Amino acid sequence: MADRPDVPTDGTEHTCAEQDDTVRILDSTEHRTAAGTAFLRFDGRVGEARFYAHAPLNRDGAPVAEADLAVLHFHGSGASRTNMDNREMCAFRDAALDRGWVLGAPSTGNAFGNPDALALGLAVLGWLRSEFTPAATVLHGYSMGGMAAYNASGRGLVPDLAGVVVVNGTVDSLASNSLPAIREAYGALDDAELLRLQAGFDPARDDPARWAGLPMFLSYSTGDAAVPAQRHGEVFMGRAATPECIVYRVGTNGHADVSGFRHPEVLDWIGSLPPLASR
């Protein structure tokens, strides 16, 4: 991975040409992974929304210029960009940085993969691309954020998409314990209006050919009271156009149990994807 000039961290505005959204980096702080890899955590803003980005440092102390991969993470309901630094995700974050990958984590609010959430995520991804020129992208969504990962991938919004990881992700809005919040996210007054407004953003009802051929790793649980596999993961798998492209794991863990994230297996799976396996 090549060196690059220091990334501006003094509030300089950067406009992502791909999305025409202004990204402002407010600050950056240096940290280390559990294995000792030095990295910068960038504190950024897109409009009024905030995000974190993480990038490993090379031996000269500058952020990497050409990352092998960008991972865009969508958080769960009631959470925020700090999800990437919490106990559920920090092991994944550290291992990804140890491998030379960069990560972005926007605070979408309780958006359930609506257009605003996707636009914010794509703006953050555009910044990651412009600064670290990753060879490919993987989307990672947890709980509510799983719906964002499904929608961004199904709508073909990430041209360099190598794969998608979803952990306990919402699929069927009408079967969700969070149905009132999903109605609010899409501006719907009732279920009929929600189905109309969510068309094109509905992994339970949109054409499954949208995800045909896309490598996916889905982790669900029958012991998850919030997003049970029976009402979400199995719904997506039951409609999949190319189930042979999907690694589907089902456990008995709770919704936020770290074991359900299957970090070691997921990391190895990402590393085996063609854009990375060939590097």
**8 A C-beta contact, residue 194 and residue 226:** no
70: Cβ–Cβ under 8 A, 6 or more apart, which residues? 101, 102, 103, 104, 125, 128, 129, 132, 134, 136, 137, 138
Compute the CA torsion angle 9, 10, 15, 21 (nearest 10 deg): 90
Contact 75, 144 (CB under 8 A): yes
- On the CB side of 278, CA atoms within 13 Å amount to 6
Contact by Cβ (8 Å): 170, 232:
yes
Q: Are 103 and 70 in contact (CB under 8 A)?
A: yes
According to the model, what pLDDT value does residue 279 have? 66
pLDDT at residue 88, rounded to an integer: 85
Token duo for residue 83: 């999800």
Q: Tokens 């060879």 identify what position?
A: 135
Strand 38-46 with 13-16, pairing: unpaired
pLDDT given for residue 230 in this prediction = 98
Give the per-residue pLDDT at 4. Answer: 26
Task: Return the pLDDT at 20.
Answer: 43
Interatomic CA distance for residues 268 and 254, integer angstroms = 23
Question: Could you give the C-alpha distances from 31 to 106, 109, 166, in angstroms and in order?
Answer: 19, 26, 27
CA distance linking residue 198 with residue 209, whole number of Å: 17
Distance CA 80, CA 242 (A): 32
Angstrom distance (rounded) from CA 198 to CA 236: 16
As given in the structure block, the two tokens for residue 195 are: 């189905």
pLDDT at 12: 33
Per-residue pLDDT of the chain (279 residues; tens, 9 = 90+): 232 223 333 333 333 334 447 899 999 999 999 999 999 999 999 999 999 999 999 989 999 999 999 999 999 998 889 988 988 899 999 999 999 999 999 999 999 999 999 999 999 999 999 999 999 999 999 999 999 999 999 999 998 999 999 999 999 999 999 999 999 999 999 999 999 999 999 999 999 999 999 999 999 999 999 999 999 999 999 999 999 999 999 999 999 999 999 999 999 999 999 988 776
Residue type, 155: R
**Six-digit token pair at 87?**
């106990």
Task: Tell me if the pTM is above 0.85.
Answer: yes
DSSP string computed for 100-164: T-EEEEE---S-TT-HHHHHHHHHHHHHHHHHH--S-EEEEEETHHHHHHHHHHHTT--TTEEEE
Orientation angle between helical segments 115-132 and 144-154, nearest 10 degrees: 70
Q: Give the integer Cα–Cα distance in Å for 120 and 20.
A: 11
